[in-house]
Chain A
Amino acid sequence: MAMVGSNVRRSRWLSLYLPLTFFMVFLMFPFYWMLIVSLKPNTDLLNMDLNPFLLYSITLDHYSYLFTDTAFMRYTLNTFVVTVGSTLLALSASIFIGYALGRFRFRGGTLMGALIFLCYLVPPTLLFIPLSQIVADFGLYNTYWSLIFTYPTFLIPFASWLLMGYFRTIAIDLEHAALVDGATRLQAMRHIVLPLAMPGILSAGIFCFTLGWNEFLYALVFMSSGDMKTVPVGVVTDLIRADVYFWGSLMAAGILGSVPVAVAYSFFVDNYISGMTAGATKG
């Protein structure tokens, strides 16, 4: 019996914990690297006699520089406003688009779905040129609105496509039952479909938030004057001087800049799982 138990444990280690450990190290290494570089004094950073993967002494100078010599807090606020605004706007539109394309059958529906996905494939490096004209015509340059309105150009196609697929997985009979019981189409959507689609909506929201938080090009060309910069643009502007990189502070900004995304993930992932469970047990 002891041997059987030992084999089970070994098998569990080989099939579960070993791959899990490998993936965890693989995925966490960039964060570990950012953290130790952000905490190393410059003398250690450039000393190749020391093991680069270890910390020999700790300094908070890079974080101090980030907060005192750059407008990092303002950049973070800007990024938060822009990302939340554009994510809400994109999700609002995507829910209706995804519902219509996923639920109704109408002529050209499939083609429209494909075209929306194709929009996602248009590279921002091309799209920013005509968008510049529009942003200027509406007088939105260097305002939050310039990004809140332009980010959905890549968020909506992605979120719509994702939600379109999710709406199709929800049994249409539930909606029919609501309609038979006297609900209108909007009521059925609001009270029946949307709660069941919450995991999909949250997933789309997480992705929109992440894409918006990390976006660089539109933020660079539409909103980067004075303190109106997002984190990706601001840190590059302030912490790269020609061919000299302020690695410690750059990594500090990388670590701190990834915190909101990590928080969003951890928060929504919990909801995502509970939403899945609720959906499975209802009905």
Chain B
Amino acid sequence: MTEDRSATLIAEAKAMRYSRRTVMKRASAMGLSAAALGSVLTATGHAVSAAPNRAPALLQGGSLNMLISTAFVPAAQDFFNEQATTWGEDNSVDVTVDFINWPDLQPRTTSAVQAGAGPDIVEMWDAIPYLFSESLLDVSDIAAAAEEVQGGYFDWVVKSAAVDGEWKSIPHGNSGAAMAYRKSYFEQAGVTDPENNFPATWEELFEVGKILKEEVGKPLGQALGQSLGDPPGFCYPYMWSHGSMEIEEDGTTVAFDTDGFREGMETFVNAWPEAFDETGLGWDDSTNNSAYLSDQLSATQNGSSIYLAASDPEGENSNPEIAEDTFHATLPSGPDGQFAMLGSRSMGIMDYSPNQDEAKAFLEWWFSAEPFQAWLESFEGYILPPGPTFTELPVYVDDPKLAAYLEIADIARNKGYAGPSNLKAAQASSQYVIVNTFANAIQTGDVATAIEQGAAMLERIYSR
């Protein structure tokens, strides 16, 4: 039966010229296993094998439960589930995966830690390993093996996922943020060859933005609500590029209120009504996606999800016209440089878990080259790998429109820079100190007071 379905899908994919993602979606809908999917992908020219080749370990009769955040790419979520299930079948381990909306990961993990019961493996976002470090198993050995596979970890990965230099969880990268923009609108605004000539500095972008809003009728869009992704994805790099940071390298000196940052904020506040969609103050991570996909914006800072969603012919937000007109650029630079914010997600094993052997065995396998590469590819370039090994994969280099997302790794800083993404950085982030400073400055027009209030909050957090 499986062979029949595989053959049907192969014929269908060849006839319809399915993309890799479409093949994976159809395979999921047809109930094909990861192994069968691997053979279909190979036969259709999307050669990646997801079949776990590892010899079964002596884990007979065990169980394993994982708590993982939902994936923007539905096929990638299904693919991970297939990987886990197939590994479980091959190793006689009863594997279950619970996917959960990512802002809800932390309360679920908190509850599990308090109760001493719950999932065996938990996915964590940046800074969270610090929060639960005492409840996580030391996985330095697996992280070291994975680091070899990755060709070493990027600096932003070490600073955002390691806990005081120790590995309490194993990093697997994250999605980055760049400027997604409409080429045609930038051309209408007078930018020559915007595909290769996106405004290099913030001031240049704001100037073009004024024309885009006034004359083209398509403003820039930036989410500044209390949301975990896009608002900090803009505010932190803008702050860094104007010589400001939460804390200096000594970990105690707050370096937020600087002359350069005040000037930069003044520029931004002045540009807001003239170049941006002013409702952005209330936007969350999803609003700018919707606004861009509904053709209201000329540009917005985002992960590659807008482009990938528009490009997917079977997706809920499919829009080939917008996809074709969309290009990406790294965030512009300020007087003190060009930056992006990145923090790695990671997989941790809870110390209360009665299934630690199973958890370790799964992660050892999953972080090995073949399954990890297959998982990365299932995201179609949305997730940046934690090291350089896989950055040459076709999903990253075949589509030049996604090149900007790889360049981010070279200019990325972590939350809490110049310190690590520790508890204090996590607290500043969860209280939206940086984001709220920007929002307050726009709402009140009083840049100096907004920055002073932000600095005072950071002082309180970092002096504890």
Contact = CB atoms under 8 A, between A and B. Distances in A.
B176 to A, nearest CB: 13
Given A47-B294, A133-B115, A220-B107, A243 B72 contact: yes
B85 interface: no
Interface stretch (A24-32, A221-229, A274-282): A221-229
Contacts of A45: 294
Interface string B103-129: 010011011101111100000000000
Given A47-B294, A242-B70, A129 B286 contact: no
A137 to B, nearest CB: 8
B319 A242 contact: no
A152 B444 CA distance: 44
A244 interface: yes
A135 interface: yes
A243 to B, nearest CB: 4
Main secondary structure of the interface of A (DSSP, over half): helix
B317 A237 contact: no
B286 A136 contact: no
A143 interface: no
Nearest to B67: A225
B96 A128 contact: no
Given A132-B114, A241-B72, A224 B108 contact: yes
A220 B99 contact: no
B196 interface: no
Interface residues of B, number: 44
B305 A244 contact: yes
Contacts of B286: 240, 243-245
Contact of A141 (B118, B230, B296): B118
Contacts of A133: 114-116
A264 interface: no
B135 interface: no
Given A48-B295, A217-B107, A237-B70, A244 B317 contact: yes
Given A242-B305, A243-B285, A46 B107 contact: no
Contacts of B295: 46-48
A224 B290 CA distance: 28
Interface in A84-136: 125, 128-130, 132-133, 135-136
B86 interface: no
A236 interface: yes
B316 A135 contact: no
A237 B114 CA distance: 23
A217 B72 CA distance: 23
Interface string B288-307: 01100111100000110100
A243 B114 contact: no
A63 interface: no
Nearest to A220: B104
Nearest to A228: B98
Given A132-B114, A141-B115, A243 B98 contact: no
Interface string A230-247: 000000111011111111
Given A133-B114, A136-B116, A46 B319 contact: yes
A130 to B, nearest CB: 7
Interface in A27-70: 42, 45-48
B74 A241 contact: yes
A125 B115 CA distance: 15
Contacts of B107: 125, 128, 217, 220-221
Contacts of B289: 243-244
Nearest to B72: A242
B100 A221 contact: no
Given A221-B111, A226-B96, A241-B71, A42 B316 contact: yes
Which of A217, A245, A247: most chain B CB closer than 10 A? A245
A222 B111 CA distance: 8
Nearest to B289: A243
B111 A243 contact: no
A54 B112 CA distance: 46
Contacts of B96: 225-226
B104 A236 contact: yes
Interface string B307-331: 0010000001111000000000000
A220 B71 CA distance: 18
B421 interface: no
A241 B70 contact: yes
B317 A129 contact: no
Contact of A129 (B102, B110, B175): B110
B70 A46 contact: no
Closest CB pairs A-B (n = 8): A136-B115, A242-B72, A221-B111, A46-B294, A243-B285, A132-B115, A132-B111, A132-B114
19 contacts: A46-B290, A46-B293, A46-B319, A128-B107, A128-B111, A132-B114, A133-B115, A221-B111, A224-B100, A225-B98, A226-B96, A236-B104, A237-B101, A240-B101, A241-B73, A243-B286, A243-B302, A244-B317, A247-B290
